[in-house]
Amino acid sequence: MAEYRTFTTDDAMRFADEHSGLFGDHSKLSCEEFGDGNLNLVFRVSNDKGTSLIVKQALPYARCVGESWPLTIDRARIEAEVLLKHRKLCPDHTVEVLHYDAEQAAILMEDLKDYRILRTELISGKQFAHLAPQLASYLAQTLYFTSDFALTGPNKKQQVGRFLNPELCLITEDLFFTDPYCNHERNNIHTAINSDAQQLWHDEALQAEVAQLKADFLSKPQALLHGDVHSGSIFINDENCKLIDAEFGFYGPIGFDVGSLVGNLLLNYLGHFGLTADDDTRQQHQDYLQQQISLLWQQFSQQFKQLMETECREPSLQNSRYQQHFLQQIFADALGYAGCELIRRTVGLAHVADLDSISDSDLRAKSERKALQLGRELIIQRRELSNIDQVLTLLRHLK
């Protein structure tokens, strides 16, 4: 193939067949496009024996906005390279990339057809005991081994240069940190909470802390982040879970990936006030989420601590006081970014079904107000909150 062109289903089939031996000779292939994302075409290519693969092609514009928002297709390279690197570091929980084609901005990868999207599962009240331990492990492995603890200065700088990802970072810079705190036309605000949203636009104490978090997002390249760890980027089943969609990957603050995930678990917790009418059922699911959030931080921090103790290749950073301080900083950052995620998913452009699918407008508004309140508290108090239990206490005492 030569110059870039948008794939038809035939192109996708040919691409999958050419770059994988999985389908065998003379297989009958079929193909459907089923992307529901905003930036890409996603095809499933299957043969008549039940084997299937995914072809993901980057569009040269953001699909949700249309061709007026051009986006470089170099993001397919970023996605492929981040996934390949993360898979090397954590093979169990990263989707497998089989082939990447730079010209066509297309990635051939395994089809997680035995998995479902975590967000949908959590909304339906499903529980997975392995969620927190597996994601803690994914985060600890991928973030530790791409950080200054594991790489030499020159090697790290080379990696930073490969993953600058200016265009997709800009989307986050705008949607995550800017829009929700001003009267921006991109915002999407449920009418019932209009006045609550407006309070954000005049809250200078909050804005000062969000400015700090944004400045760190811009200038704290601690590790190669996934960059978009929300519950729509996680595929799960009863045994395992895997991360997909790494096109927002870049070198940024470690707390951003951790906090994005925590924020999404909190959004589900708050959503269930409106999603689940039965008190016992709701309580039981919310208890599960609390336990997972607690486990996630405990296991992530424990693994990261152990890696710092045993796998630190940079002599100056082998100091245990410094390492303790570093972990406490990740915790504060993570709470701050979790708070931002709560707020931007409530009033910003890109919402989540955990809140939006609450059919009763009053109940939805109640959950949304809790999200704004908790988001603010996490951001403002992030340096004073010293352990995850204090965060859960805050969560249980929301009005």
Nearer CB in complex with a copy of itself: 167/356: 167
Specify the residue for token string 């410094």.
322
Cβ neighbours for 148, distance < 8 A, ≥ 6 positions apart: 156, 222, 314, 317
Query: Judged by CB under 8 A, does residue 211 bind a copy of itself?
Result: yes
Q: Which is nearer to a copy of itself, 97 or 246 (CB)?
A: 246
Q: Determine, following the binding rule CB under 8 A, whether residue 319 of this chain makes contact with a copy of itself.
A: yes
Tell me how many residues contact a copy of itself (CB under 8 A): 44
| Separation CA 70–CA 307 (nearest Å) | 41
Strand ranges, E, within the chain: 29-33, 40-47, 52-58, 97-101, 106-110, 116-117, 223-225, 234-236, 241-243, 250-252
Identified binder of a copy of itself from the candidate list 102, 129, 208, 277, rule CB under 8 A: 208
Between 23 and 177, whose beta carbon lies closer to a copy of itself?
177
- Which residue, 355, 367, 353, is CA-closest to 120? 353
Q: Which span sits near a copy of itself by CB under 8 A: 33-41, 212-220, 359-367, 387-395?
A: 212-220
DSSP string of 32-89, one letter each residue: EE---SSSEEEEEEEETTS-EEEEEEE-SB-TTT-TTSB--TTHHHHHHHHHHHHHHH
CB of 330 to a copy of itself, least distance (A): 12
Q: Is 220 in the site for a copy of itself (CB under 8 A)?
A: yes
Give the three-class secondary structure for 276. coil
Amino acid at 105: A
Identify the residue among 321, 396, 397, 399 touching a copy of itself (CB under 8 A). 321
Rounded least distance, CB 26 to a copy of itself, Å:
48
CA 230 centroid distance within chain: 3
Angle value at C-alpha 61, between 55 and 64, nearest 5 degrees? 90
181 binds a copy of itself per the rule CB under 8 A: yes
- Asked if 160 touches a copy of itself (CB under 8 A), the answer is yes
Does 167 participate in binding a copy of itself (rule CB under 8 A)? yes
Extract the tokens encoding 255: 């707390």
Nearer to a copy of itself among residue 129 and residue 182 (C-beta): 182
Binding site listing? 40, 56, 110-112, 228, 245-247, 344
Binding site for a copy of itself (CB under 8 A): 148, 152-154, 156-158, 160-161, 164-167, 169-170, 173, 177-178, 181-182, 204-205, 207-212, 214-215, 218-222, 315-317, 319-322, 325-326
Q: Residues annotated in the binding site for substrate, as ranges?
A: 228, 344
